[in-house]
């Protein structure tokens, strides 16, 4: 069998033009599939940036909340009620909102505001410059240094600005695990200052962040919060809820799905047609092998080997090219959100298997039916 496979390999790579066409078709199909799904994964990750950066185990919220960015204020008594539940280690409030900053040059910039619990500062970012204690100073704010940092004028420590007619002073520059989705800078301050400086509704608390005493207490806490008329979600559940919203209630999921299907169809048609042409041009060689005693299963093995070799080589080239393009894009465009995940790679691999199976099928059908007599008669 190894000798038969060596012959199959030489037949495949001998015609460099056809072999290159096969590789190009599958490579670009994989490139498009991985690129599209990676963009979607990046968007979903940034949509849950607040959840990722805060790191709380359980989030208590209004039942109508679909995404972390669309918080619905809840009354203060919810915090006291949650703190009194069995299994709760601690619970703190969190404010999320938006404001309009007036920079020193007179420009205005929309920002996202995170108000951390005054006592614990739970969810605080990692500081690159400054001291976390300075957030308690008058008008103290921490600026996140990410792809949107320049929109704030790249402020240094001590820089001043106005936010909703209140003075703000940069007392720290921080870095977070994930940048936001909507392209606006992020400021951190205390919960008290955020609710004081920003216009709010009757209720000011966006979420209650809860840490359970043990993992087994999560289900009991969730049931007790449900009995209060609110919802408690773990970090993973909240991220999934946010992703589901963008998948099924916006056009993001549909558009990405259509582009992925189109790239799959392109790869399927190009590889199938090219591989079938390759088989036709080498039909005499397969007939000669059959005439000298090659069995049908050996010819099938040759076709499968050729299709698999081309498919997996194209898969590797496509993934590598996609990774290079994403890395280059992120160097030039810091706000670019694509992220390659194991799910993206697995989905593309499964589609390559389908493409390979289709190409093998069209080749096997032709080769199995060939008779040595027909070849030598021609």
The verdict on residue 54 lying in a domain is no
Tell me the pTM: 0.76
Region of 203 on the Ramachandran plot (φ > 0 left; ψ -120 to 50 alpha; else beta): beta
Domain boundary among 196, 229, 262: 229
DSSP secondary-structure letter at 124? P
Give just the sign of the alpha carbon dihedral 122, 182, 236, 320: negative
86 and 211 belong to one structural domain: yes
- Output the pLDDT for position 65: 92
Assess if residue 273 is contained within a domain.
yes
Q: Are residues 321 and 364 in the same domain?
A: yes
Residue 273 pLDDT: 74
Query: How many domains are contained in the chain?
Result: 2
On whether both 211 and 350 belong to a single domain, the answer is no
> How does pLDDT run along the chain (378 residues), one tens digit per residue?
577 788 878 877 877 877 887 788 788 888 888 888 888 888 888 888 889 888 889 999 999 999 888 889 999 999 999 999 999 999 999 999 888 899 888 889 989 999 999 999 999 999 999 999 999 988 899 999 988 888 888 899 999 999 888 889 999 999 988 877 777 899 999 999 888 877 777 888 999 999 999 999 999 999 999 999 999 999 999 999 988 888 888 777 778 778 777 877 776 777 677 777 777 777 777 777 777 777 778 878 888 888 888 888 888 998 999 999 988 888 887 777 788 888 888 888 888 888 778 777 777 777 777 666 655 555
pLDDT at 1: 57
Q: 172 with 315, same domain?
A: no
The verdict on residue 292 lying in a domain is yes
Tell me if 266 is assigned to some domain.
Answer: yes
* End-of-domain residue from the set 171, 198, 229: 229
197 and 310 part of one domain: no
Please state, as a whole number, how many other Cβ atoms lie within 10 Å of the Cβ of residue 318.
24
Quick one: CA dihedral 34, 36, 39, 45, positive or negative? negative
Residue ranges making up the domain that contains 327 = 2-46+251-377
Give SS3 for 166.
Answer: strand
- Co-location of 24 and 115 in the same domain: no
Question: Residue 241 domain-assigned?
Answer: no
Contact call for residues 9 and 303 (beta carbons, < 8 A):
no
Asked whether residue 13 is domain-assigned, the answer is yes
Q: Is 286 in contact with 295 (CB distance < 8 Å)?
A: no
Q: Are residues 101 and 225 in the same domain?
A: yes
User: Same domain, yes or no, for 207 and 260?
Assistant: no
Are residue 29 and residue 90 in the same domain, yes or no? Answer: no
CA dist., res. 234 & res. 218, Å (int) = 8
Same domain, 205 and 94: yes
3-state helix, strand, coil in the chain (%, to 5): 55, 20, 25
Is 235 a member of any domain? no
CB atoms within 10 A of CB 7: 16
Q: Say if 55 falls within a structural domain.
A: no
Query: Same structural domain for residues 358 and 255?
Result: yes
**What are 276's two structure tokens?**
């079938």
For residue 59, the surrounding DSSP H or E stretch is strand 58-61
Looking at the structure, do residues 12 and 95 belong to the same domain, yes or no?
no
- The tokens describing 191, both together, are 């919960």
d(CA 77, CA 167): 31
């Amino acid at each position: 069998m190894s000798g038969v496979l060596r012959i199959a390999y030489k037949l495949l790579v001998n015609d460099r033009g056809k072999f290159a066409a096969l590789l190009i078709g599958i490579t670009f199909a994989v490139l498009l599939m991985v690129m599209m799904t990676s963009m979607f994964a990046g968007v979903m990750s940034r949509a849950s940036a607040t959840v990722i950066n805060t790191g709380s185990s359980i989030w208590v919220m209004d039942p109508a909340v679909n995404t972390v960015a669309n918080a619905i204020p809840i009354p203060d008594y919810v915090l006291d009620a949650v703190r009194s539940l069995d299994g709760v280690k601690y619970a703190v409030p969190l404010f999320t909102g938006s404001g309009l900053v007036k920079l020193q040059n007179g420009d205005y910039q929309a920002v996202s505001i995170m108000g951390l619990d005054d006592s614990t500062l739970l969810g605080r970012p990692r500081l690159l410059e400054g001291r976390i204690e300075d957030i308690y100073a008058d008008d103290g704010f921490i600026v996140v240094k990410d792809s949107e940092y320049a929109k704030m004028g790249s402020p240094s420590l001590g820089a001043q600005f106005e936010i909703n007619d209140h003075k703000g002073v940069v007392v720290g520059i921080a870095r977070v695990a994930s940048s936001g989705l909507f392209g606006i800078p992020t400021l951190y301050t205390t919960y008290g200052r955020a609710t004081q400086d920003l216009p709010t509704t009757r209720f000011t608390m966006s979420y209650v962040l809860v840490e359970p005493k043990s993992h087994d207490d999560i289900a009991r806490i969730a049931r007790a919060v449900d009995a209060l008329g609110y919802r408690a979600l773990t970090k993973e559940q909240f991220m999934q809820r946010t992703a589901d919203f963008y998948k099924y209630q916006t056009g993001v999921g549909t558009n990405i799905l259509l582009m992925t299907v189109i790239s799959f169809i392109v790869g399927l048609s190009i590889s199938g047609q090219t591989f079938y042409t390759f088989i036709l041009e080498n039909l005499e060689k397969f007939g000669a092998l059959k005439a000298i005693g090659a069995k049908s299963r050996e010819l099938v093995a040759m076709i499968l080997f050729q299709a698999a070799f081309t498919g997996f080589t194209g898969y590797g080239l496509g993934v590598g090219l996609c990774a290079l393009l994403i890395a280059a894009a992120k160097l030039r465009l810091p706000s670019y959100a694509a992220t390659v995940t194991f799910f993206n790679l697995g989905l593309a691999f499964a589609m390559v298997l389908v493409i390979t199976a289709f190409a093998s099928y069209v080749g096997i059908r032709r080769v199995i039916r060939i008779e040595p007599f027909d070849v030598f008669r021609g």
